[in-house]
């Protein structure tokens, strides 16, 4: 059985960017492949403090992250669905070290996300963990022989790094020890998308919406008060073109709103673009999107509230037993390959 795997780092409150870019595709794929794939939806909690966080809040954030997966529609009664915390499967960290030693420093240094995050004025402590995180991510993927990893466009470079590491190790030892994750184009096709998805910041639509962004107005967080979230949409940055068009280069703010509107209502983007073609009132478009966001958040938050901590514990017990078994098997095979075991 093939494995489909994804995770959302538990640092800050996830945004609708995470929801639309990672949760929705994963949940759609989990439905589509309910019987022919293993579906691993994990919480990459060791990735949480590659940038500074409030550690007192981390544990609750992790548990909430799992509630979000369930509330988003993941079928936890499907025996092929596995939810687990990275930190509770020690093989991730051990595999990361081995992969570190098969990753050229130069290649790791090219990661644009590290360049961006390490030069971000808000980031006062640039750790080795931040530099190393794409290699831990490679371990997250390669331990489970995952071929498909639904993720947003910002992660494609890290995916490519994971592919390169897998190919390098396989070639060096002349063995198909790792399944090579599908390349970017194939991933996008598998998700039934034309391009990778990048929801934009509401303040600066040339940038992506990020949960770690300090400006609250730039993002819609999943725990935002629905009415406040609607206000953020109403004050989103647009442009002075004066006509509604889908044009990510010249009208990224408007295009972003059209994208959010389509995805939240589960409609093809082309249909939403057609609805608004030629219209000139940015206010009307914002009101419609604000309504969709408000409606979505109110519903989602109600579903989250209905999931108990006990539900989460049960799901984790099962998921972590499975993950440890699969990951340890792979780790042992790799330890043998590199000469650590007979």
- Count of residues touching ligand ATP (by CB under 6 A): 20
117 sits in the region (left: phi over 0; alpha: psi -120 to 50; else beta) called alpha
Residue 140 tokens, joined? 């997250």
| Catalytic residue positions, numbered | 117, 208, 211
184 binds ligand ATP per the rule CB under 6 A = no
22 binds ligand ATP per the rule CB under 6 A = yes
253 binds ligand ATP per the rule CB under 6 A = no
24 binds ligand ATP per the rule CB under 6 A = no
Q: How far is CA 164 from the centre of its chain?
A: 20
What does DSSP assign to residue 208?
Answer: B
22 or 166, CB closer to ligand ATP?
22
Q: Contact with ligand ATP (CB under 6 A): which of 46, 199, 290, 334?
A: 199
H helical segments located in the chain: 16-18, 24-32, 55-71, 91-100, 105-109, 112-119, 128-142, 156-173, 184-190, 226-234, 252-264, 269-276, 282-305, 309-337
Measure the CA angle with vertex 224, ends 221 and 229; round to 5°: 90
- DSSP string covering 176-199: --SPPPPPHHHHHHHTT-SS---P
210 binds ligand ATP per the rule CB under 6 A = yes
155 binds ligand ATP per the rule CB under 6 A = yes
Tell me how far, at minimum, the Cβ of 134 lies from ligand ATP, in Å: 11
| Separation CA 138–CA 134 (nearest Å) | 6
What does DSSP assign to residue 224?
Answer: S
How do 37-43 and 81-85 pair as beta strands? parallel
Tell me how far, at minimum, the Cβ of 151 lies from ligand ATP, in Å: 3
118 or 212, CB closer to ligand ATP?
212
Q: Contact with ligand ATP (CB under 6 A): which of 100, 154, 241, 247?
A: 154
Tell me how far, at minimum, the Cβ of 6 lies from ligand ATP, in Å: 6
Which residues between 83 and 142 bind ligand ATP (CB under 6 A)?
A: none
11 binds ligand ATP per the rule CB under 6 A = yes
205 binds ligand ATP per the rule CB under 6 A = no
Question: Under the rule (CB under 6 A), what is the footprint of ligand ATP?
Answer: 8-9, 11, 15, 17-18, 21-22, 151-152, 154-155, 197-199, 208-212
């Amino acid at each position: 059985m093939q494995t489909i795997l994804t995770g959302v780092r538990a640092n800050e409150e996830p945004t609708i960017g995470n929801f639309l870019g990672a949760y929705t595709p994963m949940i759609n794929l989990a439905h589509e492949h309910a019987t022919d794939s293993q579906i691993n939806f994990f919480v990459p909690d060791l990735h949480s403090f590659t940038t500074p966080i409030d550690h007192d809040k981390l544990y609750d954030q992790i548990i909430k992250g799992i509630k979000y997966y369930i509330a988003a529609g993941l079928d936890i009664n499907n025996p092929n669905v596995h939810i687990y915390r990275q930190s509770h499967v020690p093989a991730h960290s051990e595999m990361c070290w081995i992969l570190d030693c098969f990753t050229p420093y130069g290649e790791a240094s090219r990661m644009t996300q590290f360049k961006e995050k390490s030069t971000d004025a808000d980031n006062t402590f640039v750790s080795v963990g931040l530099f190393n995180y794409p290699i831990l991510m490679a371990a997250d993927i390669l331990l489970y022989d995952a071929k498909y990893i639904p993720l947003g466009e910002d992660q494609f470079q890290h995916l490519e790094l994971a592919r390169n590491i897998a190919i390098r190790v396989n070639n060096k030892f002349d063995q198909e020890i790792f399944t090579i994750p599908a390349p970017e184009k194939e991933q996008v096709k598998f998700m039934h998308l034309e391009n990778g998805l990048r929801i934009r910041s509401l303040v600066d639509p040339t940038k992506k919406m990020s949960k770690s962004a300090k400006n609250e107005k730039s993002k819609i967080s999943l725990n935002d008060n629905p009415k406040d979230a609607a206000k953020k949409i109403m004050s989103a940055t647009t442009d002075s073109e004066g006509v509604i068009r889908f044009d990510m280069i010249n009208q990224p703010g408007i295009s972003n709103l059209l994208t959010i509107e389509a995805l939240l209502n589960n409609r093809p983007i082309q249909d939403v673009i057609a609805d608004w073609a030629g219209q000139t009132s940015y206010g009307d478009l914002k009101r419609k999107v604000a309504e969709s966001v408000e409606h979505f958040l109110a519903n989602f938050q109600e579903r989250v509230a209905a999931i108990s901590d006990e539900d989460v514990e049960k799901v984790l017990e099962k998921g972590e037993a499975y993950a440890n078994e699969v990951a340890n098997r792979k780790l042992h095979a790799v330890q043998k390959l590199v000469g650590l075991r007979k």
